[in-house]
Structure 1
Amino acid sequence: MQRREALNKLGILSGAAFLATSGLFNACNLTDKKRSALTEKDIPLLDEIGETIIPATAASPGAKAAGIGAYMLAMVNDCYTEKQRSVFIEGMDMLDAACDKQHNTSFIKLSAEQKKQLLVQLDKEANASVKNKTNSNEHYFSMLKRLTISGYFTSEIGATKALGYEAIPGKFEGCIAFKKGDKPWATN
């Protein structure tokens, strides 16, 4: 009976030691890895960036009202290649670092003017990288801007409030007069 108890305890002890060391090694590896996807925590930042690119006006709501952050999260995580996703995520981290370096705060806490200045600076940087072909990858701000525009204008809010929209089915009018000041038309 004592021999069985000793073997049982020895088995439990060696199993616990094995699990503890493997857990320790896994914990070390996790801190070294770069993040490979956007998370729900990124949505408020993406919403603020989108709202700075397409702000709310008296005539139409902005990108935040269209849920642009959730749209970007889904597109980047589900549709981008691994290379595109890593460029986008590294860019978001660089944007966060630039805010911290220049203003000692996060992008969300910046004033509207500071947000605009930072994004204009990034837009110039993105345009320069395209002109100079300094990088084989697309600049992350170009991705961000394109996602904001496509997400906003294909959302219900963007298509019905910012663009002229006529639901189908409806009557077909082949020639519609376009007057100065009319909204552009949404497409299906």
Structure 2
Amino acid sequence: MNRRTALRRLLYIAGGALLLPACYRQSGKATIEMTNLEIEEEQENLLAELVETIIPSSDTPGGKELLLHLFVLKMVDDCHNPEDQKAFMEGIVAFSAYAHEATGQDFMEMDADKRLAFLEAIPEVADEQVKRFYAITKRRTIQGYMNSKYVMTDLKKYELVPGRYNGYFKMT
């Protein structure tokens, strides 16, 4: 056997051994590490569908494609006070239960029109946990979308602060 071939194969095996744990995801855990929140995989998937319903994909990428649910989780974990974090965690459970109670099916199983109608009816809900959870999620989703790389590079066209000099502008 050639020394170069043996070394190449050894590097392939070592690279595969390093990448294999990254490909294996333990079921039940969240995708990102958080210090203050304990999110399960099912709750993360629910949040991803909620974010996708708030900002659906069309000719532009949607909330799930831009990973806004992870942004929401990280912002709540890092930037909110413990009362908001507790309300968020209680709210995600209450939101799931309320969706099943109000429509007879889980939020994940609904089609897009039912999800949208369900979200539009949330301001009239008596449960404050659901309202607060939805308000936090919606606010952070919009913030994440407006600060995403896609919006900042492709949709917004910036002009530096003093702007262009237009010596031919007519004053009335």
Give the match for residue 146 of structure 2.
153
| Cα deviation, residue 50, structure 1 | 1.0
Instruction: Say which of 160, 163, 166 aligns to 1:174.
Output: 163
Q: Offset at 1:151? A: 0.9
Q: 1:103, CA displacement in angstroms?
A: 3.0
Which residue does 2:57 correspond to in 1?
56
Over the matched positions of the two proteins, sequence identity in percent amounts to 28
Distance 1:151 1:38 in 2: 21
CA distance in 2 between partners of 1:38 and 1:122 (Å): 25
Find the residue that maps to 2:121 and give its secondary structure. helix
**Structure 1 residues not aligned, in runs of 5+:** 1-35, 130-134, 177-188
Whole-angstrom distance in 2 between the partners of 1:123 and 1:175: 45
The one-letter code sitting in structure 1 at the alignment partner of 2:84 is: Q
Larger radius of gyration: 1
Alpha-carbon separation, structure 2, partners of 1:75 and 1:86:
14
Q: What are the superposed Cα offsets for residues 98-157 of structure 1, whole Å, 9 maximum, x if unpaired?
A: 12213333211111111111111114449xx9xxxxx7xx82221111011001111112
Cα separation, 1, equivalents of 2:161 and 2:132: 42
- TM-score by length of structure 2 reads 0.63
Aligned pair 1:67/2:67, yes or no?
Answer: yes
Alpha-carbon distance in structure 2 between the residues aligned to 1:63 and 1:123: 21
Residue 56 of structure 2: SS of its match in structure 1? coil
Per the alignment, residue 46 of structure 1 pairs with: 47
For 1:85, the equivalent position in structure 2 comes to 85
- Candidates 125, 129, 136, aligned match of 1:143: 136
User: Could you tell me how far apart the structure 2 residues matched to 1:158 and 1:124 are?
Assistant: 32
Q: Which amino acid aligns with 1:88?
A: F
Shift of 1:62: 1.0
Once the two structures are overlaid, the 10-residue window that deviates more, 49-58 or 100-109, is: 100-109
Equivalent AA in structure 1 for residue 77 of structure 2: N
> CA RMSD for the aligned pairs?
2.8
Counterpart AA for 1:142:
A
SS of residue in 2 equivalent to 1:139: helix
Contact 1:38 1:77 (C-alpha < 8 Å) held by counterparts = no
Call closer, same or farther: CA 1:171–1:102 in 2, change over 3 Å.
closer
1:173 positional shift: 7.2
Question: Could you tell me which amino acid in structure 2 is paired with residue 158 of structure 1?
Answer: V
- Partners in 1 of 2:151 and 2:118 — Cα distance? 25
Cα distance in 2 between the residues matched to 1:148 and 1:76: 11
Question: What's the TM-score, normalizing by structure 1?
Answer: 0.58
